[in-house]
């Protein structure tokens, strides 16, 4: 295919996309397939001869959409959302057309400079102080890894980078068990070792408190271990837990420890001032990550890390060999020096389009609706016989269960096999619970109210021993 062919097929793709989105409500949210069902439809060997685009297109239509779980479906209430607002998709089309690698400023000045401005727009939007600057990663996992590597090197006086870790003191990091496993992964990949991630006990509200953090640090110091950093949870994946951010940051600071806050999901909600009490004290953090690709509509991938002072991270991750120099421009920002990968996509364009096309007010309205509708769904579910709310809504996330784990699991299976809505599970103090998060960009109140009516139908149609056994 050449570029004239691309012109033709892009128009066809745009039409297909519009029809796909218009028809999403008629599709099951979750792919109703067994493993291997798609792979079996593909030839086992690559073609030697070129194939006509008509044949490729036809196979796409026949095989792929039916094998997708539809993340943009208005009744996607599983995991967290990965919203792609239409304006974001448009920006991504343009980025695809230019297909740059924005590894340094010189390789696409617009990509770097739009990124700088968009990160600052977002900083203002979530209410962080002016001194914060930042960058866009592919994922919160990589942002957290970058933060952990930086905290490690700060603690080692930047010797780990040269000498490795074999002779280094044992470093200790602190987080609650409510934090996402991306924190565990970062600790493992950074050579800290899982055992040196202290899972600090939480209070009844599933929050790490300043007192519990202080006690954990004191115990380590007494044992001759070296505390190196604190990772705080602002909107945990399981049930939306928030640590006592301000309290914990105050403790970390008094101990001379840096902090990184994982607000991957909940950070987007902070564009609404009324939710900021949940992360009160955030302005004291050294690093904060949140994913506009979750709840803000800037499609995957787009994970923003805001840093009080990027110096330590750039010192940890930055390398500037001759082949990456830009002659006479030593002052420019090369964002690859802030992140683990060298190559980087032009991710800021979709933020520019989304923030302008909907405005902060439009985005706030969506998030406020989601939070309000989650409350309605919670009450409608609580009114059903046998249904118990396990955790109350945190922003737009809550969980519910039946009397036994087996009954709850069976109910979840039925709901997802039915396909009108898609929910996923967690464990709360060992109990199997069904998570509900409301956050799809295009969902309506009616879509959300379908959660309780679907559950009611599933309960009514279930045999008494499979769902109501105690």
Question: Interface with ligand PLP by CB under 6 A: which residues?
Answer: 80, 139-141, 180, 182, 235-237, 262, 264-265, 291, 303
Closest to 440 in 3D by CA, of 29, 66, 123: 29
- Core vs surface per residue 91-111: b (16+ CB within 10 A) or e: bbeebeeeeeebbbbebbeeb
Helix-helix angle 3-22:53-63, to 10 degrees: 20
Q: Which is nearer to ligand PLP, 141 or 408 (CB)?
A: 141
Closest distance between ligand PLP and the C-beta of residue 397, in Å? Answer: 10
Helix (H) or strand (E) holding 462: none
Q: Which is nearer to ligand PLP, 78 or 459 (CB)?
A: 78
Is residue 76 a contact partner of residue 29, using CB atoms and an 8 Å limit?
Answer: yes
DSSP for 7-41, written as a single string: HHHHHHHHHHHHHHHHTGGGS-SS----TTTTGGG
Q: Which is nearer to ligand PLP, 144 or 416 (CB)?
A: 144
Closest distance between ligand PLP and the C-beta of residue 413, in Å? Answer: 22
Where are the alpha helices (H) located in 139-298, listed in sequence order?
140-155, 160-163, 181-189, 210-222, 245-254, 292-295
Closest distance between ligand PLP and the C-beta of residue 228, in Å? Answer: 20
Q: Which is nearer to ligand PLP, 180 or 414 (CB)?
A: 180
Closest to 441 in 3D by CA, of 19, 21, 121: 21
The residues, any chain, with a CB within 8 Å of residue 418's CB and separated by 6 or more, are 28, 454, 458
Q: Which is nearer to ligand PLP, 136 or 387 (CB)?
A: 136
Closest distance between ligand PLP and the C-beta of residue 374, in Å? Answer: 16
Closest distance between ligand PLP and the C-beta of residue 180, in Å? Answer: 3
Q: Is 47 exposed, middle or buried (0-12, 13-18, 19+ CB in 10 A)?
A: exposed
Q: Which is nearer to ligand PLP, 197 or 452 (CB)?
A: 197
In 378-462, beta strands by DSSP E: 388-394, 397-401, 424-428, 431-437
Where are the alpha helices (H) located in 99-177, listed in sequence order?
109-126, 140-155, 160-163
Where are the alpha helices (H) located in 239-310, listed in sequence order?
245-254, 292-295
Closest distance between ligand PLP and the C-beta of residue 395, in Å? Answer: 12
Written as six digits, the tokens of 461 are 């149609």
Q: Which is nearer to ligand PLP, 180 or 420 (CB)?
A: 180
Query: What does the alpha-carbon distance between residue 335 and residue 318 come to, in Å, rounded to a whole number?
Result: 9
Q: Which is nearer to ligand PLP, 148 or 156 (CB)?
A: 148
The residues, any chain, with a CB within 8 Å of residue 319's CB and separated by 6 or more, are 337
Is residue 81 a contact partner of residue 437, using CB atoms and an 8 Å limit?
Answer: yes
Query: What does the alpha-carbon distance between residue 71 and residue 88 come to, in Å, rounded to a whole number?
Result: 15
Closest distance between ligand PLP and the C-beta of residue 144, in Å? Answer: 7
Q: Which is nearer to ligand PLP, 76 or 80 (CB)?
A: 80
Q: Which is nearer to ligand PLP, 119 or 459 (CB)?
A: 119
Apex 78 CA angle, 296 and 436, nearest 5: 95
Closest distance between ligand PLP and the C-beta of residue 77, in Å? Answer: 14
Closest distance between ligand PLP and the C-beta of residue 236, in Å? Answer: 6
Closest distance between ligand PLP and the C-beta of residue 205, in Å? Answer: 17
């Amino acid at each position: 295919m050449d570029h004239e062919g691309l012109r033709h097929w892009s128009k066809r793709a745009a039409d297909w996309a519009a029809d796909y989105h218009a028809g999403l409500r008629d599709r099951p949210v979750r792919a109703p397939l067994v493993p291997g069902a798609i792979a079996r439809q593909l030839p086992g060997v690559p073609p030697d001869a070129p194939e006509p685009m008509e044949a490729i297109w036809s196979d796409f239509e026949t095989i792929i959409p039916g094998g997708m779980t539809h993340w943009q479906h208005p009744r996607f209430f599983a995991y967290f959302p990965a919203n792609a607002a239409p304006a974001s998709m448009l920006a991504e089309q343009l980025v695809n057309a230019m297909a740059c690698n924005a590894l340094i400023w010189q390789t696409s000045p617009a990509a770097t400079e739009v990124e700088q401005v968009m990160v600052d727009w977002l900083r203002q939007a979530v209410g962080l102080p002016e001194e914060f600057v930042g960058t866009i990663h592919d994922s919160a996992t990589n942002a957290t890894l970058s933060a952990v590597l930086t905290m490690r090197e700060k603690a080692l006086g930047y010797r780990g980078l040269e000498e490795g870790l074999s002779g280094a003191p044992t470093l200790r990091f602190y987080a609650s068990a409510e934090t996402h496993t991306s924190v565990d992964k970062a600790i493992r990949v950074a050579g800290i070792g899982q055992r040196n991630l202290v899972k600090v006990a939480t209070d009844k509200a599933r929050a790490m408190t300043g007192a519990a953090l202080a006690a954990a640090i004191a115990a380590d110091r007494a044992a001759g271990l070296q505390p190196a950093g604190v990772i705080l949870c602002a909107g945990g994946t399981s049930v939306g837990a928030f640590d006592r951010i301000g309290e914990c940051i105050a403790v970390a600071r008094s101990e001379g420890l840096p902090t990184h806050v994982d607000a991957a999901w909940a950070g987007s909600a902070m564009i609404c001032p009324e939710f900021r009490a949940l992360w009160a004290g955030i302005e004291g953090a050294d690093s904060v990550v949140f994913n506009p690709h979750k709840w803000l509509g800037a499609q995957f991938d787009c994970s923003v890390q805001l840093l009080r002072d990027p110096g330590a991270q750039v010192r940890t991750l930055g390398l500037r060999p001759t082949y990456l120099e830009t002659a006479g421009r030593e002052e420019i920002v090369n964002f690859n020096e802030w992140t683990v990968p060298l190559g980087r996509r032009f991710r800021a364009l979709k933020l520019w389009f989304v923030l302008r096309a909907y405005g902060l007010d439009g985005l706030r309205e969506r998030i406020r609706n989601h939070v309000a509708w989650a409350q309605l769904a919670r009450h409608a579910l609580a009114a059903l016989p046998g249904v118990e709310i396990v955790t109350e809504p945190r922003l737009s996330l809550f969980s519910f269960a039946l009397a036994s784990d087996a009954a709850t699991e069976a109910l979840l299976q039925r709901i997802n096999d039915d396909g009108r809505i898609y929910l996923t599970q967690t464990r709360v103090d060992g109990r199997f619970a069904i998570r509900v998060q409301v956050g799809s960009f295009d969902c309506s109140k009616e879509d959300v109210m379908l959660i309780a009516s679907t559950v009611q139908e599933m309960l009514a149609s279930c045999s008494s021993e499979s769902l109501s056994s105690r």
